[in-house]
A and B are shown apart, each in its own frame.
Chain A
């Protein structure tokens, strides 16, 4: 077995690849419940994680020619990312478990030697109470770092703190 190739930081100039349309997962005309997922990414000094990027993946709704399931958003100078996507539904968990609706998140940027994974759940979804991942995080305050909050019409906000007070829970995927 040859182990997986080592990661290296994406660096500050990945924007050479950027296609702004990738932040809109509805751009191919997918039908469903459109939502905005936005937030601010900050570092251990509280400074914006400007020049990085956020990628999202959702296995629901199922991918199709109309719905790519994947998006990439620049993190702007204020630290903000922003996606337009469709609200995910239920996703089966392991065994007979049910996962609450969620969006998987992957963060890259200068100063990150390896991508960071986390998730966005949706506040007040009753299934959050029994979601296998959320319930495996014992401290309620830490669990809350994965829960996006309503921020206007059909808009959900999840702020992400890379380090320090109220640090986001990052996942060992």
Chain B
């Protein structure tokens, strides 16, 4: 166990560079020195676990107010797997987003769009044994942001994943198929690899859609996989 099998390095081009200067917020916030290489140790290959008894699920983000929130009700579902296709079972997923008008229920959001008293905008779900999760929410609106004189974020939902190790931590955003703002968005476009970008875009999935109730979108997520064998230097 002292030479644990490490999680794989990220595939080149699939992660956004820290210095993604079209997103101006990165300019003074990314390190100038290269990341220091290190072999993963027990610290990196282990990680926290969360149980739904202690961390209460909130799978219906439309049910936090006295009445239903305004906007288009949707279901988002998908499967969380590692890079080898193995399900990531019973892992915690955190979700947050703006309301249908494109406003976060947050004092820091000063966009002149209405707050919806019936929509807080945070959720928490756990995957099942096959790595599947599902959440009910409303489709968030696009909103302007102070990156440039006329910058707009495409509709997106924030997701946070833990997986089995501190090395598998992933915070990302899910976008919607067909959104014309996507090619204009420096956050989305910061991912160099086109296929990797495409996997952030959730397609409409009629199998997730509930007839007469809500459209469904599929967002499958891949967490880092682990190499098959421990690294060399086999000490007893």
Contacts and interface: CB of A to CB of B under 8 A. Distances in A.
B100 interface: no
Given A5-B200, A63-B49, A113-B20, A17 B122 contact: yes
A166 B37 CA distance: 18
Given A7-B16, A9-B187, A164-B32, A91 B43 contact: yes
A164 B11 CA distance: 28
B64 to A, nearest CB: 11
A111 to B, nearest CB: 3
A111 B106 contact: no
A6 B29 contact: no
Interface residues of A, number: 68
Interface in A26-61: 43-45, 47, 49, 51, 55, 57-59
Contacts, number: 221
Interface residues of B, number: 78
B40 interface: yes
Majority SS of interface residues in chain B?
Answer: loop
B96 A167 contact: no
A168 B193 CA distance: 29
A1 B17 CA distance: 22
Interface stretch (A78-86, A100-108, A122-130, A151-159): A100-108
Interface stretch (B128-136, B166-174, B176-184, B206-214): B166-174
Nearest to A44: B28
Given A9-B187, A104-B43, A167 B31 contact: yes
B166 A167 contact: no
Interface in B82-131: 83-85, 94, 96, 98, 104-106, 108-109, 120-122, 124
Given A17-B122, A113-B16, A169-B36, 12 more contacts: A1-B225, A6-B196, A9-B173, A16-B106, A45-B28, A51-B108, A97-B2, A137-B36, A167-B33, A172-B38, A173-B38, A173-B166
5 contacts: A5-B223, A9-B187, A13-B109, A17-B160, A95-B3
